[in-house]
Amino acid sequence: MFLETLSTLLESTLATIYMVIVAGISAFIFGLPIAIGLTVTSKGMFYENLLLHKILSSIVTIGRSVPFVILMVAIIPFTRFVVGTSIGTAAAMVPLSVAAIPYFARIVEGKLANINRGLIEAAQAMGSSPMQIIWKVLLPESIPSILNSCTILFVSLTEYSAMAGAVGGSGLGNMAIQYGYYQFNTPVMMQALVTLVMLVLLIQFVGDYITRKFSH
Amino acid sequence: MIKLIGIKKYFKTKLGISHALKGIDLQVSKGEIFGIIGKSGAGKSTLLRTVNLLERPSEGEVILDSVSLTSLKEVELRKQRRNIGMIFQHFNLLSSATVYKNVALPLEFANVDKKEINERVRYLLEVTGLSDKENHYPHQLSGGQKQRVAIARSLASNPKVLLCDEATSALDPETTKSILSLLKEINQKFGVTILLITHEMEVVKSICDRVAVIENGEIIESSSMVEIFSNPKTKVTKALVRSAFHISLPESIEKNLIQFPAEGLHPILKISFVGESANEAIISHLVMKFNLSVSILQAHIDVISNSPIGIMLCQISGSQDQIKLGIDFLSQSNITTEVLGYVSGNIKYTA
């Protein structure tokens, strides 16, 4: 019984990990600059631009407010355009990334806002350019909290990937629903569930460890 | 070296426009240690930050070494800021970087090459006595050590001016002393002009050459240290000087002071001596020449800018005429005398 489903489990786990990593990386690549943009255009900062800040912030809020299930369906044309299909692992990654970008941007923005303004002022007094402040003060000082945000991001993505998978037809979520729930096969469902939980625990553990390594 | 001309700063608030600085003119000469003292909210921090334009004045001009900073473009201003070091009350060190990296930061900003950075940082750590702390992180250091790192960092780009924003206010008295003597040392060794703000007269007293008193966004008094200590003119300054000398009448006496002379009342005098007159035997003069009896209530002698300065509170008794002659005698000499009030009978000290 257990062995029969083992290959499905392995396949599903890999699909989940694949989805989470790709969506996580795109959230990081696009979300971090948005977070920095939000921070440096806020009131009292060196690129203060309240209009731009408001626009960016609104986009992030809208992105965050659309329920994920609806987002998945709503952006199917976009998903087709990007990956050429609307089902499977690749197709699940697109809405996952789209949802994760504003999510990550908002968390990191909150962390960056906690940076001591005095540090930025001190850097300005030293004759630094805004770019130097971002690279040599803002980012290095927030490495631990950005790492912490990454942990939160990956845990949330694992969660959402189950939903995306269920709709798109891959990953642990799909396995739990298709092979477990719909076929009244509780052991299969439990296998998928336990693996998901283990995955989350692992992410949290590794994330905490790395964050601690980088905290001074 | 630093010249502030007609500096005004106002902020728009919900209640209207609030004036933080109301037209300040200030000139600090090369190599001097200049103190600005005032209560919190007096505008001293805002004033200090206009010097390197962290706070852009609403009106007025800032001139550093004949360069008008207020008229510079952003990029030029950044270059000029390398001539102005700054240290802060809360140190503002990067918590993610080692002592070495913190001190190297301004040089990295200026794109100095690695080898030169290395030499400069090592040298500055030696000057500030931190050579063994190179690889420590700020959280491993005490407050005094953190301020030393900040001082080393502020000197990295070889500035002509050092701005100190309440640099010792977060430190205990012992550490304050050592940081102040380090600042003095830097001033003498590198010829760095120091402009500092503080609310503590002790700080001003121990290192400044000249001082300005700021109140409500205006400079109400500005002069040499000896002058301000021996002859403070405004009420605020007087209070500050009192706080530095710890000289004041006990409350019980202060309450019973009568402001006008009358028969049977004895004046209480505050006598300030400066320089040579501090060495003269004026008390015995009063006693012998005018047949007065003098009882000293409090006295304090200090050395400020290398000249002795003394403040004394005393009560004189004798005949009214003689008392008047005695006070006239004091006023004619190089001694500042102030009648604080009159009391009847002799003061009995109950401590």
CB pairs A-B closer than 8 Å: 65
Residue B255 has a pLDDT of: 79
d(CA B329, CA B309): 19
Task: Tell me, yes or no, if A123 comes closer than 8 A to chain B by beta carbon.
Answer: yes
pLDDT tens-digit profile, chain B (351 residues): 899 999 999 988 888 888 899 999 999 999 999 999 998 888 999 999 999 999 999 999 999 999 999 999 999 999 999 999 999 999 999 999 999 999 999 999 999 999 999 999 999 999 999 999 999 999 999 999 999 999 999 999 999 999 999 999 999 999 999 999 999 999 999 999 999 999 988 899 889 999 999 999 999 999 988 888 878 889 888 888 877 777 777 777 777 788 887 777 888 888 887 776 655 677 788 888 888 888 888 888 888 877 788 888 888 888 888 888 888 888 777 777 888 888 877 665 544
Question: What value does the CA radius of gyration of chain B take, rounded to a whole number of Å?
Answer: 24
ipTM field:
0.85
N- to C-terminal Cα separation, chain A: 50
CATH value of B248-344 in 3.40.630.40, 1.10.730.10, 3.30.70.260, 3.40.710.10: 3.30.70.260
Which own/partner pairs from B75-79 qualify as long-range (CB within 8 Å, at least 24 positions apart)?
Answer: B77/B53, B78/A127, B78/A128, B78/A129, B79/A127
Q: Name every residue whose Cβ is closer than 8 Å to that of residue B38 and which is 6 or more positions away in sequence.
A: B44, B197, B199, B213, B214, B215, B236
* Chain A stretch 142-181, residues whose beta carbon is closer than 8 A to a beta carbon of chain B: 143-144
Query: A189 or B62, which is more confident?
Result: B62
CATH value of B2-243 in 3.30.930.10, 3.40.630.30, 2.30.110.10, 3.40.50.300: 3.40.50.300
CA separation, residue B351 to residues A2, B44, B299, B347 (Å): 90, 37, 16, 12
DSSP B280: S
CA separation, residue B287 to residues B281, B284, B293, B314 (Å): 10, 5, 6, 13
User: What's the mean pLDDT when you consider all of chain A?
Assistant: 92
Residue B351 has a pLDDT of: 42
Question: Hey, what amino acid is at A3?
Answer: L
Q: Residue ranges of the alpha helices (H) in chain B?
A: 44-51, 74-81, 99-109, 114-127, 143-155, 173-190, 201-207, 225-230, 235-245, 251-255, 282-290, 320-332
Q: Where in chain B is the domain with CATH 3.30.70.260?
A: 248-344
Helices (H) and strands (E) in chain A, counts: 11, 0
Name the pTM for this structure.
Answer: 0.86
Domain ranges of chain A: 2-214
- Each residue's pLDDT tens digit, A67-126: 988 998 899 999 999 988 888 888 889 999 999 999 999 999 999 999 999 999 999 999
Q: Where in chain B is the domain with CATH 3.40.50.300?
A: 2-243
Residue B98 has a pLDDT of: 96
d(CA B268, CA B257): 9
d(CA B287, CA B309): 22
Residue B104 has a pLDDT of: 97
**Are B94 and A126 an interchain contact pair (Cβ–Cβ within 8 Å)?**
no
In CATH terms, the fold of domain A2-214 is MetI-like fold (1.10.3720)
Instruction: Report the gap between the CA of A58 and the closest CA in chain B (Å).
Output: 26
B→A contacts (Cβ < 8 Å), by residue, are 52, 54, 78-82, 84-86, 88, 90, 92-97, 105-106, 108-110, 137-139, 153, 157, 163
What is the secondary structure of A77-101 as a DSSP string? Answer: HHHHHHHS-SSSHHHHHHHHHHHHH
Residue B350 has a pLDDT of: 47
In this structure, the dihedral spanned by the alpha carbons of residues B36, B37, B39 and B43, taken in order and rounded to 10 degrees, is: -10
Residue A200 has a pLDDT of: 95
- Number of other residues whose CB lies within 10 A of the CB of residue B3: 16
